[in-house]
Structure 1
Amino acid sequence: MNAPAGVWELNGVLDLESIPGLWVEMANRIRSRDKLDVSLARVERASSAALALLLQGLEESRKVKCQLRYVDIPEDLLALARVSNVEKLLLS
C-alpha cells in the first residue's frame, strides 16, 4: 500500500546501519517542504538510533520552518522515548 501524498513512509528495521542513509533522505525531504508527515506504521524494529533520527528530524524542521509530524509510532519506540523523557516531543 502506498502512503498518501505528503506522507513519507519508513519501513523495515531502523538501526545504526540504516539510519545514515535515512537521515540524508529525511533531511532533503524536510528542507524541500513546508509540511511533512512521517509514518512509522511499517517499521518492524527500531533502536535508539531511530529515536535519535526522529529527534534530529525535529531539530532540522525547526531550523527550516517545516511542520514535521510523526504518525503511527510503534509502541517499542514510544516506550524508548518515554524512558528518555522525549515522548512529548515526538507526539506534538
Structure 2
Amino acid sequence: MPVIDLCVTKVDEISFKGALDRETVPNIWNKLTKWQPNLSQVKVDLAHVNRIDSAGLVLLLHLIEHAKNQNCHIMFTFVPDQLITLIQLSNVESLFADHINNAKVE
C-alpha cells in the first residue's frame, strides 16, 4: 500500500512525502480538512512526492479551495514534472496558475 506523509515543517510550510494517489488521498484529506491556516500564505513543498495521480491532483485543488475559504493563499513549490503533465492533460492550468512556483525537482 502506498504511503504519504504530511509534515508541517515550518509555521508557513507543509510538505508531502511519498505517493499522492487514490490510495493515500482519503487519509491525507482527513488531516487537511482539520488544518486551519492562520497565515495569508502557506508554501506546500512537493519535492518528495514520488508519485501523483488524478486523485492527488484533485486533492491539491481542494487544498487550494480549503485555504482560500480561510483567506490563505497556497503556493506549491518543487512541483514534479508528473504533476505538471497531469495539470496540462486535465486542462486545469488556470486553476493552478497563481499557485505554482516555477522551481522544479532536479
TM above 0.5: yes
Q: Is the 8 A contact 1:70 1:91 kept in 2?
A: no
Counterpart of 2:34 (choices 28, 33, 36) is 28
Quick one: percent identity of the two aligned structures? 30
1:7 matched residue in structure 2: 13
Bigger Cα displacement from structure 2, 59-68 vs 2-11: 2-11
Which gives a bigger RCO, structure 1 or 2 (Cα 8 Å, sep 6+)?
1
Matched, 1:54 2:85: no
2:48 matched residue in structure 1: 42
More helix per residue: 1 or 2? 1
Q: How far is the alpha carbon of 1:68 from its aligned partner?
A: 1.2
* Cα distance in structure 2, aligned partners of 1:54 and 1:69: 11
* Cα distance in structure 2, aligned partners of 1:91 and 1:71: 13
Q: What TM-score, normalized to structure 1?
A: 0.84
* Cα distance in structure 1, aligned partners of 2:22 and 2:38: 26
Gaps (5+ residues) in structure 1?
none
